[in-house]
Amino acid sequence: MGERTRAVEGVAMSGFWQGRTTFITGAYGLLGQWLVRRLISEGADVVCLARDQQPLESHHAPIKLVRGDVRDGALLERVLNEHEVNTVFHLAAQSIVPRANAEPAPTFDTNVAGTWALLEACRRNPAVRQIVVASSDKAYGQHDTVPYHEAMPLQGRHPYEVSKACADLLAQSYAHTYNLPVAITRCGNFYGGGDLNWNRIVPGTIRSVLRGERPVIRSDGQYVRDYLYIEDGVSAYLLLGARMSTAGLRGQAFNFSNEAPVTVLEIVERILKLMDSSLRPEIRNEASGEIRSQYLSAAKARGELGWQPEYCLDEGLRRTIEWYTKFWKENT
Rounded distance between C-alpha atoms, residue 90 and residue 84, angstroms: 16
According to DSSP, residue 146 is labeled S
Residues 110/92, Cβ–Cβ less than 8 Å: yes
DSSP string, 132-155: EEE--GGGGB--SSSSB-TTS--B
Closest CA to 224 of 171, 280, 148, 154: 148
Residues 252/216, Cβ–Cβ less than 8 Å: no
Rounded distance between C-alpha atoms, residue 91 and residue 133, angstroms: 7
Closest CA to 182 of 241, 121, 224, 236: 241
Rounded distance between C-alpha atoms, residue 92 and residue 28, angstroms: 9
Annotated active-site residue 237? The verdict is: no
Q: Strand 64-67 and strand 182-187: pairing? A: unpaired
* Sign, Cα dihedral of 47, 125, 113, 79: positive
Catalytic residue among 28, 140, 148, 160: 160
**Close Cβ partners of 55 (under 8 Å, ≥ 6 residues apart):** none
User: What positions carry a catalytic annotation?
Assistant: 160
